[in-house]
Amino acid sequence: MKRVACTTLLVLGLVALAAAQGTASGSVTQPSSATQHKAPPAAKTPEEHTAYQAILTNQDLAAAEAAAKDFGTKYPQSELRNPIYQNLMYRYQQTNDAAKTVEMGRKALQLDPDNPMALVTVGSVISERTRPTDLDRDQRLAEATSDAQHALDGMDKWLATAPGITDEQAKGVKPLLISASHAILGMVELTRKNPAGAEKHYRISLDANPANPDPVTLLRLALALDLQSKYAEALTFANRAVELSAAGGGVLAEWAKQEQGRLAKLTGQTPAPPQPAQTTTTPPKP
């Protein structure tokens, strides 16, 4: 079930892109004096601002990336280098280019090692694209784990002072970051063939953002439970995954239906039709 982006990461990306675009146009709302947020990154000269805008608006990603490299050479002390690479990271993510997403994310992290949005994006892509048979599996999973844990450990401090982010935005982004971080750790444990560990992290991921459960996380929790022969409980989450993925169709919806069908046979139950369901990760009692 490999993918570059999930709903959570795309939401985080849109928040970051909005901040970057707003800074470029001068329309970012300044944090109130009651906060300790730093001022948004800004160009020091009109020429620097023009070059920055040109990168953000260049629809040719390869050309934008080349321009970003030139920008760093010409303006090595610019505050805008990090927003540029974070912008490119999310744009590559939206094109499903895993390698470039990670590459741009790592460049952003070189400039801001504590940025939880870049950490969860890089960690998610690596965890999603690592197979149990990969020769560098352990190294990749270690990086994904480190990124996710770093995001969890440092997000409060980073969000409290992050440039260009208001207190309200920080409050809204935090549960998404927690959910995404634990989803990464759950994927790592699934790849390591540790379904009990995966179950723990997927439950935390869903509990962190109960109003907007990710169908992929629901399905993977069902798989983790299935691997532990907890079939009835797994079916509860598979039913929810089917419900939430039905509208979008595609591969995810098909996988969810397959898992639902398998679990229904194992438990002797009829697959539940789509219906409103609880968002908590604790299955309803019989």
20 & 103 share domain:
yes
Report if residue 33 sits inside a domain: no
- 20-69 confidence digits (pLDDT tens): 544 444 333 344 444 566 778 899 999 999 999 999 999 999 999 999 99
Is the pLDDT at 9 greater than 70? The verdict is no
Q: Identity (one letter) of the amino acid at 241? A: A
Tell whether the model's pLDDT for residue 261 goes beyond 90. Answer: yes
Q: Which two tokens stand for residue 136?
A: 């560098």
Q: Is residue 276 part of a domain?
A: no
Q: What domain count does the chain have?
A: 2
The one-character DSSP state at 35 is: S
Q: At what angle do helices 215-227 and 167-191 cross, to 10 degrees?
A: 30
Nearest CA among 70, 82, 98 for reference residue 164: 82
Coil vs helix vs strand at 112? coil
Residue 286 lies in a domain: yes
Three-state DSSP at 280 gives coil
Mean pLDDT for 167-182 is: 92
**pLDDT for 196 beyond 70:** yes
Give per-residue burial for 95-127: e unless 16+ CB within 10 Å, then b.
eebbebbbbbbebbbebbeebbbbbbbbbbbbb
Q: What is the pLDDT of residues 96-116, one digit of tens each?
A: 999 999 999 999 999 999 999
- 266 and 154 within one domain: no
Is the same domain home to 81 and 223?
Answer: no
Whether residues 178 and 220 fall in one domain? no
**Residue 163's pLDDT is what?**
79
Q: Does some domain include residue 208?
A: no
107 is a domain residue: yes
For residue 187, pLDDT over 90 is answered with yes
Say which amino acid occupies 154: G
CATH number at residue 155: 1.25.40
Residues 92 and 149 occupy one common structural domain:
yes
pTM for the predicted model, two decimal places: 0.85
Q: Cα separation of 20 and 25, whole Å?
A: 9
pLDDT at 89 over 60: yes
Structural domain span for residue 86 = 7-26+46-201
pLDDT at 271 over 50: yes
Residue 189 shares a structural domain with residue 119? yes
* Statement to judge: residues 253 and 187 lie in one domain: no
Same domain, 53 and 173: yes
Query: What is the rounded average pLDDT for all residues in the chain?
Result: 86
Q: Does 249 reside within a domain?
A: yes
Q: Higher pLDDT residue, 61 or 19?
A: 61
Q: Both tokens of residue 66?
A: 């080349």
> Last residue of some domain: 201, 236, 259?
201
